[in-house]
Amino acid sequence: MMVGGELVLAALVILLALLLTLVLSHFLPLLLNPKAPNGSFGWPLLGETLRFLRPHASNTLGSFLEDHCSRYGRVFKSHLFCTPTIVSCDQELNHFILQNEERLFQCSYPRPIHGILGKSSMLVVLGEDHKRLRNLALALVTSTKLKPSYLGDIEKIALHIVGSWHGKSKDKGRVNVIAFCEEARKFAFSVIVKQVLGLSPEEPVTAMILEDFLAFMKGLISFPLYIPGTPYAKAVQARERISSTVKGIIEERRNAGSSNKGDFLDVLLSSNELSDEEKVSFVLDSLLGGYETTSLLISMVVYFLGQSVQDLELVKREHEGIRSKKEKDEFLSSEDYKKMEYTQHVINEALRCGNIVKFVHRKALKDVRYKEYLIPSGWKVLPVFSAVHLNPLLHGNAQQFQPCRWEGASQGTSKKFTPFGGGPRLCPGSELAKVEAAFFLHHLVLNYR
């Protein structure tokens, strides 16, 4: 009996020691960094992560940020993603963080994200590796925009998607519902697969990649628990299948010798700077970047226009004017795109209100003093873009969708408008996403109410 009692006592002591260690490790950064911004750390281990990630409308801050900004100011400390964190809702500090990439701050996504994206992904690699991959991405984007067939490919796919809805409006007197978000995903995916891999929407391999990509996307934002059957595990497996498919396409191109498709893959195969693993990862990054943000942007534009009859009418009038000066089946040109001024206002306002990328993950490489704030070395730093986009002091009537606010304003990024990030990690394909959204919208407003 004594032996059993001693074992129980020893187990209790070990458990208490573990709990004490957990509590101390959680709250010790508070004691060691008294000059950090005000804030709270929440419970040990979980911190305030669950509250921070609680779903809310994208054109609102959510209860967590509203509560903490009112209590602690627009820069505060918290404990998120198992790490002491500085949260910035301040436009000046956000700009400072983005512009000091690799000098004072470094990209620092949670480890499970690496498991899905892969260690060679441009989203997670650092330093010279990131610079090398991003330069290649910029070169590919530039070459894509210069291709004569680029705009034509986008328009053909838009016509294919929009045209597929005809005849689906009624079935034996009943109205059929078309899930627009799914249609936007089909369009964006078809465009990026065509540009990157030279595949058309009708090819069986395109549908196979899309199916795996949907599983991949669901797991990317799921709880990172690798247990068979969970979304995270399915995402890791889906990435492996996509990688295998892409490797097969690469081998097929190599065995066929020279290719004149003029897509990303042709350029990648001619490059000696990347390993095969990096080339596959680069293709996945391109698919991810061209698929998710673009489809969400198109969906956001339609969502907000659906609530504003006046703005919809202005967009429709603009596109009717462009179409009236063209032959019946003549494709849109780059000059037509430049004429879509109000459409660009709508796209920018959808990006501001919709907040597709709410925040990014960074880490302080050293103690950083900014104004009255101390950001301790090793702490995570989260610049929150949505808090700046929805700040009424920077954007009048910030909660309202008002495309006219962009008339006469700069169409690029600024300290108070960073929908595609900023600094050395500014999204290289941001302009391509806007072109796709504008062309899709052209055929949507001219063919449907």
pLDDT of residue 350: 97
Give dist(CA 49, CA 151) in Å, integer. Answer: 43
At the top level of CATH, the class of 32-166+177-447 is: mainly alpha
Give dist(CA 217, CA 189) in Å, integer. Answer: 12
pLDDT of residue 2: 53
The overall pTM is greater than 0.85: yes
User: Could you tell me the residue ranges of all domains in the chain?
Assistant: 32-166+177-447
Contacts of 381 (CB under 8 A, 6+ apart): 85, 86, 88, 97, 105, 362, 363, 364, 375
pLDDT of residue 24: 60
Cβ atoms 74, 88 nearer than 8 A: yes
pLDDT of residue 442: 97
Give dist(CA 158, CA 184) in Å, integer. Answer: 9
pLDDT of residue 285: 86
pLDDT of residue 168: 64
pLDDT tens, position by position, for the chain (449 residues)? Answer: 456 666 777 777 777 777 766 666 666 676 677 788 999 988 887 889 989 989 999 889 999 999 999 999 999 999 998 899 999 999 999 999 999 999 999 999 888 788 778 888 888 889 888 888 888 888 888 877 777 788 999 999 999 999 988 876 555 566 678 899 989 999 999 999 888 888 888 888 888 888 888 888 887 777 777 788 888 888 888 888 988 988 888 888 888 765 666 677 887 887 777 787 888 888 888 888 888 889 999 999 999 999 999 999 999 999 999 999 998 889 999 999 999 999 999 999 999 999 998 999 999 999 999 888 899 999 999 999 999 999 999 999 999 999 999 998 665 568 999 999 999 999 888 899 999 999 999 999 999 88
Cβ atoms 283, 198 nearer than 8 A: no
**89 annotated among ligand-binding-site residues:** no
- DSSP H stretches of helix in 101-178: 111-117, 127-146, 149-163
pLDDT of residue 36: 86
Angle at alpha carbon of residue 29, lines to 104 and 382, rounded to 5°? 45
